């Protein structure tokens, strides 16, 4: 499959469009990474809460263990410390949940920042490139046969700008209609030129 035109001007436009698309993708990936990192900074309070809960739970576990060693009333003394240890565990879980929510938000934002602008441009760039590749491939195959030159001549008459057709030698259309192969080649060359291709031979 042909990817680029043979004529330098159209080939330069195609290359510029392809490079521009790649630059667009890289730019939005970098923006998404920066946004992801910035949103992850919001997880710092959640980490602080998790660390506080872990610290409280550890201290209260140590206190409960020490209180249990007191004869006769150890279990009663350890109960409040055990309850505070459980509360510290709940605080730690809340901090972890906050971090998870921030990480989820950062990931979703990064994905959206890549998919929306890249998808928007892809829907414009890809059909244009695929349509040209399909048309250029078909035109290249048609140009290799006499009957194909007639098809290209008809396409030229239907799609070429009028000033381009007017620049042909007088009587080209009538000569083609009469079956002149030179006129068919001239009209086919107009269509091939529109696609950025050189006529065969």
98-134: per-residue pLDDT in tens?
Answer: 888 889 999 999 999 999 999 999 999 999 999 999 9
Q: Which residues contact 30 (CB under 8 A, 6 or more apart)?
A: none
Checking 133-141 for CB contacts under 8 A at 24+ apart, the result is 133/1, 133/2, 133/3, 135/195, 136/2, 136/5, 136/195, 136/196, 136/197, 137/1, 137/2, 139/191, 139/192, 139/195, 139/197, 140/2, 140/197
Q: What pLDDT score does 146 carry?
A: 66
152-191: per-residue pLDDT in tens?
Answer: 888 888 888 888 888 888 888 888 888 888 888 888 888 8
Residue where a domain stops, chosen among 79, 107, 134: 134
Query: In the structure, what pLDDT confidence band is assigned to residue 67 with cuts at 50, 70 and 90?
Result: low
In this structure, the answer to whether residues 149 and 130 fall within a common structural domain is no
Query: In the structure, what pLDDT confidence band is assigned to residue 84 with cuts at 50, 70 and 90?
Result: confident
In this structure, the answer to whether residues 14 and 67 fall within a common structural domain is yes
Q: What pLDDT score does 97 carry?
A: 86
In this structure, the answer to whether residues 12 and 93 fall within a common structural domain is yes
Q: What pLDDT score does 100 carry?
A: 87
Q: Which helix (H) or strand (E) holds 104?
A: helix 74-142
Task: Answer yes or no: is pLDDT of 12 > 80.
Answer: yes
Distance CA 176, CA 169 (A): 12
The rounded Cα 151 to chain-centroid distance in angstroms is: 38
Distance CA 18, CA 125 (A): 8
In this structure, the answer to whether residues 118 and 31 fall within a common structural domain is yes
- When pLDDT is averaged across residues 2-18 and rounded to a whole number, the result is 91
In this structure, the answer to whether residues 88 and 155 fall within a common structural domain is no
In this structure, the answer to whether residues 188 and 114 fall within a common structural domain is no
Token look-up 């309850």 returns 83
Residue where a domain stops, chosen among 102, 134, 166: 134
Task: Go through the chain and tell me how many residues it has.
Answer: 201
In this structure, the answer to whether residues 104 and 83 fall within a common structural domain is yes
What average pLDDT is seen over the chain? 85
Is the separation of the CB atoms in 46 and 105 below 8 Å? no
Residue where a domain stops, chosen among 81, 108, 134: 134
Is the separation of the CB atoms in 25 and 87 below 8 Å? no
Domain that holds residue 83: 1-134
Our count of domains for the chain comes to 2
Task: Answer yes or no: is pLDDT of 144 > 80.
Answer: no
Query: In the structure, what pLDDT confidence band is assigned to residue 201 with cuts at 50, 70 and 90?
Result: low
In this structure, the answer to whether residues 61 and 126 fall within a common structural domain is yes
In this structure, the answer to whether residues 57 and 150 fall within a common structural domain is no
In this structure, the answer to whether residues 117 and 156 fall within a common structural domain is no
In this structure, the answer to whether residues 18 and 40 fall within a common structural domain is yes
In this structure, the answer to whether residues 191 and 112 fall within a common structural domain is no
- When pLDDT is averaged across residues 67-74 and rounded to a whole number, the result is 70
């Amino acid at each position: 499959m042909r990817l680029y035109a043979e004529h330098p001007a159209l080939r330069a436009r195609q290359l510029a469009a392809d490079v521009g698309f790649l630059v667009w993708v890289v730019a939005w990936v970098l923006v998404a990474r920066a946004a992801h990192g910035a949103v992850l900074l919001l997880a710092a309070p959640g980490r602080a809460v998790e660390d506080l809960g872990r610290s409280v739970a550890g201290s209260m576990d140590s206190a409960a263990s020490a209180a249990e060693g007191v004869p006769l009333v150890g279990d009663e003394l350890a109960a409040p410390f055990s309850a505070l240890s459980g509360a510290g565990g709940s605080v730690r879980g809340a901090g972890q949940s906050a971090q998870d929510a921030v990480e989820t938000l950062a990931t979703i934002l990064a994905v959206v920042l890549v998919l929306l602008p890249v998808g928007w441009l892809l829907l414009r760039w890809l059909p244009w490139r695929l349509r040209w590749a399909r048309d250029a491939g078909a035109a290249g195959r048609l140009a290799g046969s006499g009957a194909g030159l007639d098809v290209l001549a008809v396409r030229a008459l239907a799609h070429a700008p009028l000033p381009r057709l007017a620049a042909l030698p007088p009587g080209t259309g009538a000569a083609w209609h009469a079956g002149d192969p030179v006129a068919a080649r001239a009209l086919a060359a107009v269509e091939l030129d529109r696609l950025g291709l050189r006529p065969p031979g």
